[in-house]
Chains A and B, each alone.
Chain A
Amino acid sequence: MSAPNKSYDPVEVEALKPEEIERMRDEALAAFAAADSLEALQEAKVAHTGGTSPLALANREIGALPPHAKADAGKRVGQARGAVNKGLAARQAELEAERDARVLVEEAVDVTLPYDRVPSGARHPLTTMMERVADVFVSMGYEIAEGPEVEAEWFNFDALNFGPDHPARQMQDTFFVEGPKGDHGESGVVLRTHTSPVQARAMLDREPPVYVVCPGRVFRTDELDATHTPVFHQIELLAVDEGLTMADLKGTLDHMVQSLFGPDMKTRLRPNYFPFTEPSAEMDMLCYVCKGESVGNPDRACRTCSSEGWIELGGCGMVNPRVLTACGVDPEKYSGFAFGFGIERMLMFRHNVEDMRDMVEGDVRFTRPFGMEI
């Protein structure tokens, strides 16, 4: 603050006294601080920065001063008004922040509320399980082959080395389609009893090498109960190439169970008999739950494999050269392997499905939890 000026105009203006200006400034700042809401601050703002506020009135008085005093007084008033505006803005920001915080609190919701406005849909786990298995092989270079569900006996049986008297051709297993003459006449057409006819079709349609998987729906005359269904799903694999061996079959199976159940999985082959493969084998996979540790260990009994350590998957083998011949593949040059297994069974032990009927009845409570992929 400057000292009184000797050349000061004798006409003193009360309002422009330095003490007065300081007082006005301090009163304004005090009023702002006292304002506890944006509305109160607005009133204080009008009172202390408006056109009729003391500082504004003081500002007008500057013109009445002699020229040499104007600068000095102007500077003082300007500084005071600057301080007031700054104080106002600060308080404004403070109060706005308080308001915003309050509003956010007031707008809070119960985020645990449900939003099942449109209940979710789902694909059937048998569908997605088939896709999951098929994709293991698609990623290896196999293609997906398909065939009809109503199939010629030749594809379903003859081409696969099921002779005319093979027990599987008999009425106890196979749904036969009525012939053109109605009644029970011969049609040569059945509901396919396995996905294997697609093997024959694939070989007839393509030149070797053939690497295909064939997922699909198949039919046998079983009554529906907890462990059987007359309509079920299989996936079949066929590889025909030069020099394929049983070791290749074993490796392919191992790869599949590792892909589906984890890296430390493996399969086991046991000799068996199927007309369309020779040699033939039954394939088991290590129990993915107990990894075989439940065997002979009553304290760690395993429900998934009944403490057998292995889970039966299905049948496999080297494609019988007679099948290759019937399907136009030269058995002297090519060999092949094939396997097939039931999707229902895999779904049952992979996802603890207890009753086959749950998979066929279409109850939404069963299907929904499986979502889009499996």
Chain B
Amino acid sequence: MRVPLSWLREYVDLPATETGRDVQAKLISAGLEVETVEPLGDGLKGPLVVGQVLTIEELEGFKKPIRFCTVDVGRANGTGEPQEIVCGARNFAVGDKVVVVLPGAVLPGGFAISARKTYGKTSHGMICSADELGMGDDGSKGIIVLPPEHEVGTDAIELLQLVDEVLDIAVTPDRGYALSLRGVARETATAYGLPLLDPALLDVPGPNEFGYPVEVSDPLGCDRFTARTVTGLDPEARSPIWLKRRLQKAGMRPISLAVDITNYVMLELGQPLHAYDRGRVQGTIGVRRAEQGEKLATLDGVVRTLDAEDLVITDDRGPIGLAGVMGGANTEIDDTEGTTTDVVIEAAHFDPITIARTARRHKLSSEASKRFERGVDPLAAAAAAQRTVDLLVLLAGGTAEAGVTEVIAPSAPRTITIPADHPDKVAGVAYGRETVVRRLQEIGCDVYGQDELIVTVPSWRPDLTDPNDLAEEVIRLEGYENLPSTLPKPPAGLGLTDRQRLHRRVGRALAGAGYVEALNYPFLGEHVFDQLSLATDDPKRRVVKLVNPLSDEEPALRTTLLPGLLAALRRNDGRGSHDLALFETGLVFHPREELSVAGRLPVDRRPTDDEITTLLDALPEQPRYAAVVLAGAREQAGWWGKGRPSDWADAVEAARLLAGEAGARLIVRGGRYGPWHPGRCAELAVVVDGTERVIGYAGELHPGVLKTLGLPARTCAMELDLDLLEEAGEGLPKAPHISTFPVATQDVALVVDKTVPHADVEAALHEGAGQLLESIRLFDVYESEQLGAGKKSLAYALRFRAADRTLTVDEASAARDAAVSLAAERTGAVLRGA
């Protein structure tokens, strides 16, 4: 809502020294968000006067038409002689009144005017357009031609009201009344403690039987309809300058006198109005719901197919307007031909939700619908109709008909009962009853009662429904800035949960290992599943889809973190960072086996646990996953020596790192899955509640997948289900017993088939070695011709130690032999050199 300060002053007698900035500060503190204060005519300096064109000489030989004019500016130029001015515009003729800026003047934007040579003549000033004067679009498409009644030499700065300030207010949805000068003036008056000159206080004749016939068949959709008729309008009459200027400053374009007047009254009182050409309305005006599929051509030239929920204004033929949104073309006031002489004025009140839905359905937000959606003062309709009639009579020479139609559905004023100290309790401030009552009265409430206040809310505040609404009014008028600052004392908390701590630890561990976190959008297109070589029946292909995705390419929610993370890797690589280790933890989304709709539960009570369960069951599973991707060097080459490319082992190690953080035992074994290199893929598993669960995969990605996705060669990745990993956690770590007896070390080299996994050999050694084994570590793997084709040698360091004694060599050897023999039995391992 744009509010010219000069217009606002008409209703509140503000001190002359108050600037737009001052008013802005007061209104912001009262809760109206004044976003900007726009100075109009900033820096403007005269002489700027009304002139009359005396002669026009067309200058020849220039690329564009140029006119050399003489203009009578009266005594404004000091001599009374005609002013010689060169002008490039053509929309004026000899005898027209125009706006002339004389040498010495400064136009908005610091544009200083002086006599200057141009097109072979000397131009002593300029004939002005609206644009040059900072007036905004006045529809003239050239210089301003004034109505003839203005005297030459008149100061045009005053005449055109060029110097002003405009407050631009972002009105919140609850404060529909602030979409009017009347509403903003009321807040201003309260903020300054000044009386309000309410423009809605007009003498309005009561309804009678001679008014234009109106039939409201849907009183829920339209609880009030006022109709007035004005006849004998002068089709030649044009909007006076002051009217146009106020509309322009408020951001509306002047169109025609009748339309300008209805817009003006809407801005003033907040009541949207519509003027019908009476000669084009046939029979009774009606209000009803549309028939499904009914058609209406609206004023914007669009033929709209109506919905059965749309509220329409009709005449005998059918719809002539979309109620509260936009009028129809078939009863439009004819401005261009100037044939409209009689109009019917509609000032009605419509159901906000109906209007909101219609505006949305037809993607048609108008000044009227904006106001009805937010709530219009129903009691202002009659005054607004009267104001419109008055202006039509005054400015268009019309005659007001005596008939007054008012169709009103009965309604009672709303009351709210609150304890007098309720605002005090909400704010934490002792305002006292008197202050509370005074503040409520200032916003227009009637207040009765002592400890319990019975508050009747004003008709323009449909947003006031609950005790806290009234508390807010009191607190904001007393000033949010005056609230004290106190700290509540929450009960002692338990800190982070184990799960929350794990999530932080996971991030720190990966970052500590050199991974950089990326937070990727969770959207994907299903084509990525083919790119990732997922099997056709892979459960990850079942996705949650969006009705309105940002991009039709990515309509689904991720079931894996890899597409996002790989895209980030590719982006970094493309930007010249080639040695990359990225990680992400985040939710993925799996549809339930049985899909259901999340119903709309009641809000007037706590839903039952069963009701809540139906909601939760309608949501997809949303486990938290963790993933890493790697490319390029894991260790850089440098003065210390060679670098090392990242490889499958780094990816597997990332999984082990997370398992360590979760306190879970991770099972790593050869696997095959989707995007991974079939020979370099580890399947990751844990045991949860006695059941082994595969939680993810790690290793090098498949060269074909890398090629398809345009990723660097040998890119590696790991992804696992962090929730399952967490579930597999074994709880608090137990401190081991630290023996101070000496260690006995035994190395063994075992030859096994190449296909035998180290993990199996190690597990057998571990089990076979028994209690005395302290640790086991693989320190070498090699293959050679000597060993034979298809064989490999695994060398382990076994450390033995007892808790209570120094081990003898025989004891250590016996444990080692037991370990080797179990490994031999389980894996076919042969001790080298044996």
A binds B: yes
Chain A residues with CB under 8 Å of chain B are: 113-124, 126-127, 131, 138, 140-144, 146, 148-155, 158-159, 161, 164-165, 167, 170-171, 175-180, 182, 184, 186-189, 191, 204, 209, 211, 217, 221, 223, 230-231, 239, 241, 243-248, 250-252, 254-255, 266, 268-273, 278-282, 318, 320-322, 325-328, 335, 359-365, 367-368, 371-372
B308 → chain A, closest Cβ, in Å?
17
- Residues of B contacting A239 in the complex (Cβ-Cβ under 8 angstroms): 488, 490
Partner of B589, one of A150, A153, A231: A150
For chain A, what secondary structure do more than half of its interface residues adopt (helix, strand, loop), or is it mixed?
A: mixed
Query: 1/0 per residue B569-600: CB within 8 Å of A?
Result: 00110010101111100110100000111111
Instruction: Give the Cβ gap from A111 to chain B, nearest Cβ, in Å.
Output: 12
Contact of A230 among B472, B545, B550, B638 (CB under 8 A): B550
The 3 closest A-B CB pairs, nearest first, are A271-B31, A245-B428, A328-B606
Other-chain contact of B428, A131, A138, A248 (Cβ < 8 Å): A248
Cβ A158 vs Cβ B603 within 8 A: yes
Residues of chain A with a CB closer than 8 A to B33's CB: 270, 272, 282
Q: A118-B514, A250-B485 are in contact. Are A176 and B547 (CB under 8 A)?
A: yes
Beyond the given A142-B493, A364-B577, A368-B516, please list 10 additional residue pairs across the A-B interface where CB-CB is below 8 A: A122-B517, A150-B557, A153-B598, A154-B598, A154-B599, A175-B548, A180-B595, A188-B599, A273-B174, A364-B516
Residues of chain B at interface, number, CB under 8 A: 109
Q: Is A144 touching B497 in the complex (CB atoms < 8 A)?
A: yes
Residues of chain A within 8 A (CB-CB) of B29 are 270
Contact between A362 and B572, CB atoms less than 8 A apart: yes
Task: From B467, B486, B547, B643, give the contact of A177 (CB < 8 A).
Answer: B547
Contact A188 B598 (CB under 8 A): yes
The docked-state distance in angstroms from the alpha carbon of A368 to that of B577 is: 12
Q: Select B511's contact among A122, A182, A270, beta carbons within 8 Å.
A: A122
Decide: A279 near B472, CB < 8 A? Known: A127-B507, A362-B568: yes
Residue of A whose beta carbon sits closest to that of B517: A124
Contact check, A165 vs B356: say whether CB atoms are below 8 A apart: yes
Does A187 contact B606, Cβ atoms closer than 8 Å?
no
List the A residue with the shortest CB-CB distance to B582: A362
Contacting pair A271 B550 (CB below 8 A): no
Asked whether, in the complex, the Cβ of B516 is within 8 Å of the Cβ of A143, the reply is: no
Interface status of B549 (Cβ within 8 A of chain A):
yes
Flag if B639 contacts A113 (CB, 8 Å): yes
A362 near B519 with CB under 8 A, answer yes
Q: How far is the CB of B596 from chain A (nearest CB, A)?
A: 6
Q: Is the CB of B491 within 8 A of A270?
A: no
- Chain B residues with CB under 8 A of A146: 500
Contact partners of B643 in chain A: CB under 8 A: 117
Give the distance to chain B from A235, nearest Cβ to Cβ, in Å. Answer: 14
Contacting pair B522 A325 (CB below 8 A): no
* Residues in B502-542 with C-beta less than 8 Å from chain A: 504, 507-508, 510-522
Q: Which residues of the other chain, A, contact B604 by a CB distance below 8 angstroms?
A: 325-326
Interface string of B436-456 (1 = CB under 8 A from A): 000000000000000000000
Q: How many A-B residue pairs have CB under 8 A?
A: 297
Contact mask for chain B residues 619-646; partner A; CB cutoff 8 A; 1 contact, 0 none? 1101000000000001110111001000
Interface residues of B (CB under 8 A from A): 28-31, 33, 172-175, 353, 356-357, 360, 425-429, 466-469, 471-472, 475-476, 480-481, 483-497, 500, 504, 507-508, 510-522, 544-550, 557, 565, 568, 571-572, 575, 577, 579-583, 586-587, 589, 595-607, 612, 615-616, 618-620, 622, 634-636, 638-640, 643
- Contact between A362 and B518 (Cβ–Cβ < 8 Å)? yes
- Output the nearest chain A residue to B579 by Cβ-Cβ distance: A119
* Chain B neighbourhood of A371, CB < 8 A: 511
CB atoms of A367 and B484 under 8 A apart: no
Would you call A121 and B510 a contact (CB within 8 A)?
yes
- Which chain B residues lie closer than 8 Å to A175 at the CB level? 546-549
Residues in B neighbouring A117, C-beta threshold 8 A = 635-636, 638, 640, 643
How far is it, in angstroms, between the C-alpha of A150 and the C-alpha of B523 when the chains are bound? 12
The 22 sampled A-B contact pairs (Cβ below 8 Å) are A118-B514, A121-B581, A122-B517, A123-B507, A140-B490, A150-B557, A155-B615, A158-B600, A165-B357, A167-B173, A176-B548, A189-B619, A209-B490, A239-B488, A251-B484, A272-B172, A278-B471, A318-B468, A321-B467, A322-B603, A335-B426, A362-B518
Chain B residues positioned under 8 Å from A321 (CB to CB): 466-468
A165-B353, A278-B466 known; A247-B429 Cβ under 8 A: yes
Chain B residues near A178 (CB, 8 Å)?
544-547
**Cβ–Cβ contact A327 & B606, under 8 A:** yes
State the CA gap A167–B616 with chains docked (Å).
Answer: 25
Give every chain A residue within 8 A of B600 (Cβ-Cβ). 153-154, 158, 164, 188
Residues of A within 8 A of B476 (CB): 271, 279
| Contact for A114 among B466, B511, B616, B638, CB less than 8 A | B638
A204 near B606 (CB under 8 angstroms)?
Answer: yes
> Does B475 contact A121, Cβ atoms closer than 8 Å?
no
| Measured CA separation A246–B586 after assembly (Å) | 35
Complex formed: what's the CA distance from A223 to B580 in Å? 28
Contact B521 A360 (CB under 8 A): yes
Residues on the A chain within 8 Å of B601, using CB: 154, 158-159
- Looking at the assembled complex, report how far the CB atom of B490 sits from the nearest CB atom of chain A, in whole angstroms: 4
Q: Is the CB of B427 within 8 A of A247?
A: yes
* B519 partner residues in chain A, CB cutoff 8 A: 124, 126-127, 359-360, 362
B507 CB, nearest partner CB in chain A, Å: 5
**Contact present for A144 and B426 (CB under 8 Å):** no
